[in-house]
Amino acid sequence: MNDVLTEAPVGMTYNTLGGSTVTLTNAGVYRVDYRIRTTAAVAGALMELRQNTTAVDNSSVSVVAAGETSGVAIIRTIAANETIAIDITTANATLAAGTGAFLDITRIA
């Protein structure tokens, strides 16, 4: 089963369909649940959220084993048309094909 949406929800646009970057068209406070699925453990690898190109405070999570790694963040200051993305700090991490990165984004205020 493929979890990729073919259309972005209202208030969001995809930078690349099925990619791990989303543009939020409405300003607000957002809850972001994020996760990756890797096929092997990678020593020293971290996953983190990026708001535009800046790391979101307290969003870094160690990728310590093959399988799913997840995190959650509340981002209080998002202006219209800012991007949210998942970043992995090493090129050695191999994501699972078709299901490697997820962003679940909810506007809460």
d(CA 52, CA 22): 10
In angstroms, the CA 60 to CA 63 distance is 10
> Residue 7 has which token pair?
């259309």
pLDDT, mean over the chain:
79
Nearest to 29 by CA among 94, 69, 78: 78
Q: How confident is the model at residue 4 (pLDDT cuts 50, 70, 90)?
A: very low
**Beta partners for 88?**
47
pLDDT tens digits for 19-46? 568 888 899 999 999 988 888 767 778 8
pTM for this prediction? 0.78
| pLDDT tens column, 80-102 | 999 999 888 776 677 777 678 88
We find that the CATH architecture of domain 12-107 is: Sandwich (2.60)
Domain coordinates in residue numbering, the chain: 12-107
